[in-house]
Amino acid sequence: MTSIEAQVLQPYKYGFVTDIESDDVPLGLNEDIIRLISRKKSEPAFLLEWRLKAYRHWLTLSEPTWANVHHPPIDYQAIRYYSAPKQQKKLDSLDQVDPKLLETFDKLGIPLAEQKRLSGVAVDAVFDSVSVATTFRAELAKYGIIFCAFSEAVREHPELVEKWLGSVVPASDNFFAALNSAVFTDGSFCYIPKGVRSPLELSTYFRINASSTGQFERTLIVADEGSYVSYLEGCSAPVRDENQLHAAVVELVALDDATIKYSTIQNWYPGDENGKGGIYNFVTKRGACRGRNSKISWTQVETGSAITWKYPGCILQGDNSIGEFYSVAVTNNHQQADTGTKMIHMGRNTRSTIVSKGISAGKGQNTYRGLVKILKGAEDARNYSQCDSMLIGDQCGAHTFPYIDVRNASAIMEHEASTSKIGEDQIFYCKQRGLSAEDAVSLVVNGFCKEVFKELPMEFAVEAQNLLGISLEGSVG
Partner 1 sequence: MSTGSGKREAGGVILDIRGLHATVANDAKNEILKGLDLTVRAGEVHAIMGPNGSGKSTLAAVLAGHPAYTVTGGTVTYLGKDLLEMAPEERAREGVFLAFQYPVAIRGITNSYFLRSAVNAVRKHKGQEELDPLDFLQVLETKLKQIGWDDSFLNRAVNDGFSGGEKKRNEILQMAVLEPTLAILDETDSGLDIDALKTVAEAVNALRRPDHATVVVTHYQRLLNYIVPDRVHVLAGGRIVKSGGKELALELEEKGYVGV
Subset of residues 450 to 469 that bind partner 1, contact rule: CB under 8 A: 450-451
Q: Under the criterion CB under 8 A, does residue 195 sit at the interface with partner 1?
A: no
Report DSSP state, residue 211: T
Q: Which is nearer to partner 1, 93 or 432 (CB)?
A: 432
Size of the site for partner 1 (CB under 8 A): 25
For partner 1, the binding residue among 52, 74, 160, 437 (CB under 8 A) is: 437
Q: Which is nearer to partner 1, 165 or 472 (CB)?
A: 472
Q: Under the criterion CB under 8 A, does residue 4 sit at the interface with partner 1?
A: yes
* Angstrom distances, CA of residue 120 to CA of 108, 191, 288, 296, 328: 18, 18, 27, 21, 25
User: Could you tell me which of 124, 22, 31 has the C-alpha nearest to residue 82?
Assistant: 22
Q: Under the criterion CB under 8 A, does residue 46 sit at the interface with partner 1?
A: no
* Window of 5-13, 86-94, 392-400, 436-444 that interacts with partner 1 by CB under 8 A: 436-444
Using an 8 Å Cβ cutoff, are 366 and 391 in contact?
Answer: no
For partner 1, the binding residue among 194, 446, 459, 463 (CB under 8 A) is: 446
Q: Under the criterion CB under 8 A, does residue 1 sit at the interface with partner 1?
A: no
For partner 1, the binding residue among 448, 471, 473, 475 (CB under 8 A) is: 448
Using an 8 Å Cβ cutoff, are 249 and 150 in contact?
Answer: no
Least distance between partner 1 and beta carbon 453 (Å) = 9
Q: What's the CA gap between 395 and 473, in Å, rounded? A: 16
* Window of 7-15, 164-172, 335-343, 435-443 that interacts with partner 1 by CB under 8 A: 435-443
Q: Burial, 426: exposed, middle or buried (Cβ in 10 Å; 0-12, 13-18, 19+)? A: middle
Q: What's the CA gap between 246 and 280, in Å, rounded? A: 6
User: Could you tell me which of 435, 439, 426, 325 has the C-alpha nearest to residue 383?
Assistant: 325
Three-state secondary structure call for residue 448? helix
Using an 8 Å Cβ cutoff, are 370 and 388 in contact?
Answer: no
* Count of CB atoms situated within 10 Å of the CB of 117: 16
Subset of residues 366 to 425 that bind partner 1, contact rule: CB under 8 A: 423-425
For partner 1, the binding residue among 7, 408, 426, 465 (CB under 8 A) is: 426
Q: Under the criterion CB under 8 A, does residue 301 sit at the interface with partner 1?
A: no
For partner 1, the binding residue among 212, 395, 436, 466 (CB under 8 A) is: 436
* Window of 265-273, 299-307, 394-402, 439-447 that interacts with partner 1 by CB under 8 A: 439-447
For partner 1, the binding residue among 439, 457, 459, 465 (CB under 8 A) is: 439
For partner 1, the binding residue among 113, 118, 443, 470 (CB under 8 A) is: 443
Q: Under the criterion CB under 8 A, does residue 434 sit at the interface with partner 1?
A: yes
For partner 1, the binding residue among 435, 457, 459, 465 (CB under 8 A) is: 435
* Count of CB atoms situated within 10 Å of the CB of 156: 12
Q: Which is nearer to partner 1, 3 or 274 (CB)?
A: 3
Q: Which is nearer to partner 1, 128 or 473 (CB)?
A: 473
Least distance between partner 1 and beta carbon 430 (Å) = 8
89-93, long-range: CB < 8 A, 24+ apart: 91/133
Q: What's the CA gap between 119 and 107, in Å, rounded? A: 17
Q: Burial, 113: exposed, middle or buried (Cβ in 10 Å; 0-12, 13-18, 19+)? A: middle
Q: Under the criterion CB under 8 A, does residue 444 sit at the interface with partner 1?
A: yes
Least distance between partner 1 and beta carbon 424 (Å) = 6
Q: Which is nearer to partner 1, 377 or 447 (CB)?
A: 447
For residue 39, give every residue at least 6 positions away whose Cβ sits within 8 Å of its Cβ, in sequence order, or none.
none
For partner 1, the binding residue among 120, 447, 462, 466 (CB under 8 A) is: 447
* Window of 247-255, 289-297, 320-328, 441-449 that interacts with partner 1 by CB under 8 A: 441-449
Report DSSP state, residue 166: T
Q: Which is nearer to partner 1, 248 or 467 (CB)?
A: 467
Q: What's the CA gap between 254 and 252, in Å, rounded? A: 7
Q: What are residue 197's DSSP bridge partners?
A: 228
Q: Under the criterion CB under 8 A, does residue 36 sit at the interface with partner 1?
A: no
Least distance between partner 1 and beta carbon 451 (Å) = 7
User: Could you tell me which of 137, 299, 298, 150 has the C-alpha nearest to residue 216?
Assistant: 150
Footprint of partner 1 (CB under 8 A):
3-4, 423-426, 428-437, 439, 443-444, 446-451
